[in-house]
Amino acid sequence: MKALSARLFTVFLLSALGSLLPKLVLAGDNDASTNREPHFFSKRPWAVGFQMEGTVTNVASVGRQIQFQVSGRFVLSELPPESPKPAQIEVHPKGWFLAKVTPDSFVAVTSDGRGGSVQNDKGRLLAILKAAAERGTMVKFALLQPKIDFGTNEVGFTVMDAKVWKITDVDLR
């Protein structure tokens, strides 16, 4: 009976230690998943926006791109997750700057921003820019994937390529 109770006690002790061992070993580990702070958690993700606004001139189709000059400004906006207010960097080149965009689907919005329509016709962007150049009206752009040159060429600041996400269209009613 003593041998049986000693064996049962040994089995019980080993099983108790076996179940407690992982808890004891991982409790002091800072990398354990239950002890680690989240690496990045935000209710609003971090974002960067690119806008261009001004009057356009010398609008021309060059290959797959539309090239034009903008008399206005270029704005880089950062919306950090810890702040509700965007941080903005404005680029005000002297005179004008050169911009090239690649036509794709975009949203044309009214001048007041209260209405808009999705444009899938790649030729429509060229038509909007030519009409704005003829009338001398202010155009506002929201851009995607811009490639920017801050002055390594002879022109100075240049938007080498971008996709237009949103643009004002004075003819849109």
Query: For residue 20, what pLDDT is reported?
Result: 58
The whole-number pLDDT of residue 126 equals: 93
31 in the same domain as 57? no
Q: Is residue 135 part of a domain?
A: yes
User: What are 55-111's pLDDT values in tens digits?
Assistant: 999 999 999 999 999 999 999 888 877 777 888 888 877 788 999 999 999 998 988
Note the pTM of the prediction, 2 decimals: 0.69
Let me know whether 107 and 153 are in one domain.
yes
Q: Is 58 part of any domain?
A: yes
Structural domain containing residue 84:
47-168
Tally the residues of the chain.
Answer: 173
User: In the chain, how many domains are there?
Assistant: 2
Give residues with Cβ within 8 angstroms of 38, minimum separation 6.
Answer: none
Task: State how far the Cα of 28 lies from the Cα of 19, in Å rounded to an integer.
Answer: 16
Q: What tokens were used for 79?
A: 């919306």
State whether 87 and 162 are in the same domain: yes
Q: State the pLDDT at residue 112.
A: 81
33-54 pLDDT tens trace: 555 555 555 555 667 889 999 9
Same domain, residue pair 31 and 112: no
Contact 167, 139 (CB under 8 A): yes
